[in-house]
Structure 1
Amino acid sequence: MFRAAWALLAAFAWTNGLAASSWQPNRNVEIVVSTSPGSGSDTTARFIQKLLVENKLVSAPLTVMNKPGGGGAVGATYLNQHAGNGHYLMVTSPSLLANEITGRTKIKYTDVTPLAQLGTEPVVFTVRADSAVKSGRELAERLKSDPASLSFSIGTTIGSHNHIAVAQLAKAVGVNAKPLKVVAFAGSADGITALHGGHIDVVASPSSGVWEHFVAGKLRILAVSAESRLGGPLAGIPTWKELGYPVLSANWRSVVGPKGLPEEQVHYWDGVFEKLSQLPEWKQSLDSEHIQNTYSDSRGTRQLMDAQHKAMSATLADLGLVK
């Protein structure tokens, strides 16, 4: 009798586990964006929505919900109003970490549930085509010998991944990054306008921000802040690493859920985003935007954020920006 009872309990537990692991959304899924429509994160969120629906990777309807403001705090706060609910996702970037480190928000990256790292857009250093600085090595040497002679444009805030790349280069050549002439513009376009006008010497930004001007021959990209070179027309541009300077900074796109997501919900979204990362349309989109396909699952994304938080904290401390 006892043996039969144990068998019944085991079967019940197995059935419950199977049911739990097969969780899927049964109503509308909101993809929260903590920036305005038309931003990079917004564009990514809407493309994710499109591909998930068209390829039937999610059976429930999906909508994009913009919640800008507060340096991302508005979106993250809204997300966490739905703690433990896998029907709410948010597309995020390094600003999630930087805003907390610099005291712009109280939302920590540990307050959300990492689900996927979908792509990485390394920071590139760009000058005018007629600039006297012809290479990354020349820029590094000039920064070392006469840091006051250079000015840098970054977007969109002090302490961003673009600013971190500039600070890393300064540290690599033995220069204090705090007194450097660094101007934060609202976006890459404003920085490029200032560059063309001779008001700024160097723009530090993702390649997408300078791409059209680079292809037109109006700008020169000197070096890439990545582990390996980019592809296509950018394949001939060296990384800072191969030039001997440990400069690694990028704008990555990740998806997170609210705090307290149950394991079965995390498992579901792991499967969805892994399939998304393998879609030809997704890969083609990343290639066209010069974004590296650096997909990681929920566990890998947590590890990335842990490592990035540590590295960013160190650099932002050098800049005197840690609060």
Structure 2
Amino acid sequence: MTAKLPVKHLTLLALPLAAASLATLAQAQDWTPTRSIEFIAPANPGGGWDTLVRTTSRVIQEEGLADQNFAAINVPGGGGAVAWAQIARDSGNPHKLFATSPPIILVPLAGTSRHDHTAFTPIARLITDYSIVLVRDDSPYSDLNELFAAMQENPNLSVGGGSAPGSMDHISIAGLASAAGLNAAEVNYVPFSGGGEAMTSLMGGHVEAVITGAGEASGQLGEGSDIRALGVSAPERMGGALADVPTYQEQDIDYTFDIWRGVMGAPDMSAEAVAYYEDLFAQMLETDGWEQAREQLGWIDAYQNSEEFGDFLDAQKAQFSEVLSDLGLLGQ
């Protein structure tokens, strides 16, 4: 059976930067952290979650926005499921946060985690990013069409990603392959426990290409790099280190893919703690340190407060349920 995605344009970015009334939030804050905050990246170092956790922690510290330290902690495994299971057992803990993105929806839908987004406390959506397809510098493929032609001829050629089967990177490459005319369900996707591990496999010649977040790849591209980018899922070319990377659409593949990223907390976090973190991250987005980091990583601000983020996550579940069903990956 040939899996056909319902749309060629899969957009994860729903709303622009939301206006936050910092004065109102500040008045509502009856709680502040009393010890270091555990800020968890549910994967190995080097991927999108890890980059978000370490970047936001650094900016918050350098800008003096919080009295307590944000301690970056990596908990890899199961495309995020191992970390989510641990966090779910720590109900009510206001000192535990984690980075989140589409896998919080996709992994449970695929049936590989019993903890979905409704088990946790939405704090804020922060940014959106894009997918990028990378190959080794000595790869014979000069563009995406050459790569897909080779994959069609040899289905054993593999594409690695830093998320579980049926999760973000898999959906991104499956949608791209479908738009390019391939059977999306037959893409030989190899999952790794984070973008860093996927890149190591690429450099070792174990996979033909890697699909990952454009932001986390930006620092590895440029003169003297051992990798090349074949295309980015943005609707138009990006800036900085990615300025020379063509979009999918420039290569006659009518497909885009946005990767939102945000922060969630342990189950049943108090309203006062949520208000504190909403305010903190809204202030962080206004700093010079954040602006510099965002430009370097190619991120786009996409703030939503806790309530808006929760509604957005519910809508994402409805959208992704349809996509996974069409790919034959929806769990029972």
Task: Indicate conservation of the 8 Å contact 1:73/1:107, yes or no.
Answer: yes
184-193 or 304-313, which moves further after superposition? Answer: 184-193
1:133-148 equivalent positions in 2, closer than 5 A = 133-139=141-147, 142=149, 146=153, 148=155
Q: In structure 1, how many angstroms separate the alpha carbons of the residues matched to 2:33 and 2:193?
A: 39
Q: Secondary structure at the match of 2:185?
A: coil
Provide the residue aligned with 1:24 in structure 2.
31
Structure-2 change in CA distance of 1:218 and 1:22 (3 Å): closer
| Structure 2 CA distance for aligned equivalents of residues 170 and 18 of structure 1 | 45
Cα distance in structure 1, aligned partners of 2:305 and 2:25 = 21
CA contact (8 A) 1:152 1:182 kept: yes
Query: Which of 172, 179, 193 is 1:172 aligned to?
Result: 179
Identity of aligned residues (%): 30
Cα displacement (A) at 1:70: 5.3
Shift of 1:99: 2.0
Cα RMSD of the aligned pairs, angstroms, is: 3.5
Separation in 2, partners of 1:262, 1:206: 32
2:108 is matched with which residue? Answer: 100
Question: Structure 1: any 5+ residue segments left out of the alignment?
Answer: 1-16
Whole-angstrom distance in 1 between the partners of 2:228 and 2:278:
39
Q: Give the Å deviation of 1:100.
A: 0.9
After superposition, the Cα gap between the structure-2 partners of 1:147 and 1:172, relative to the gap in structure 1 and judged at 3 Å, is: farther
Return the offset for 1:135.
2.7
Is 1:49 aligned with 2:50? no
Q: CA deviation at 1:255?
A: 0.8
Aligned counterpart for 1:109 among listed residues 117, 122, 134: 117
CA 1:64 to 1:146, structure 2 compared with 1: closer, same or farther past 3 Å? closer
Residue of structure 1 aligned with 2:168, choices 152, 161, 165: 161
- Once residues 133 and 198 of structure 1 are traced to their aligned partners in structure 2, the CA distance between those partners, rounded to angstroms, is 14
Worse overlay, 274-283 or 295-304: 295-304
Q: CA deviation at 1:53?
A: 3.9
Larger relative contact order (C-alpha < 8 A, sep ≥ 6)?
2
Residue in structure 1 matching 2:246, options 238, 243, 250:
238
What is the SS of the residue equivalent to 2:228?
strand
- SS of 2:172's equivalent in the other structure is helix
Unaligned runs of 5+ in 2: 1-23
AA paired with 2:182? V
Secondary structure of 2:53's partner?
helix
Match of 1:281 among 266, 289, 301: 289
1:184 is displaced (CA, Å) by 2.7
- The structure-2 alpha-carbon separation of the partners of 1:244 and 1:261, relative to structure 1 and needing over 3 Å to count, comes to same
Report the residue type matching 1:162 in the other structure. Answer: D
1:151 aligns with 2:158: yes
Cα deviation per residue 1:158-194 (whole Å; 9 max; x = unaligned)? 2232211111012223432222222234554555565
* Alignment partner of 1:306 out of 314, 321, 327: 314
Shift of 1:260: 3.3
Which structure would you say has the larger Rg?
Answer: 1
**Which amino acid letter does the alignment assign opposite residue 38 of structure 1?**
P
Structure 1 position 137, deviation (Å) = 4.8
Deviation at 1:274, TM superposition (A): 0.6
Q: Give the CA deviation at 1:148.
A: 3.1
Q: For 1:126 and 1:217, how far apart are their aligned partners in 2? A: 12
155 and 120 in structure 1: CA distance in 2 versus 1, 3 angstrom threshold: same
Q: Secondary structure at the match of 1:295?
A: strand
Q: What TM-score results when the alignment is normalised by the length of structure 2? A: 0.75
Instruction: From the superposition, tell whether residues 122 and 136 of structure 1 become closer, same or farther in structure 2 (CA, over 3 Å).
Output: same
1:226 aligned onto 2:228: no
Shift of 1:67: 4.7
Task: Name 2:188's counterpart in structure 1.
Answer: 181
1:217: Cα distance to partner?
Answer: 5.2
Instruction: Tell me how far 1:109 sits from its aligned partner.
Output: 0.5
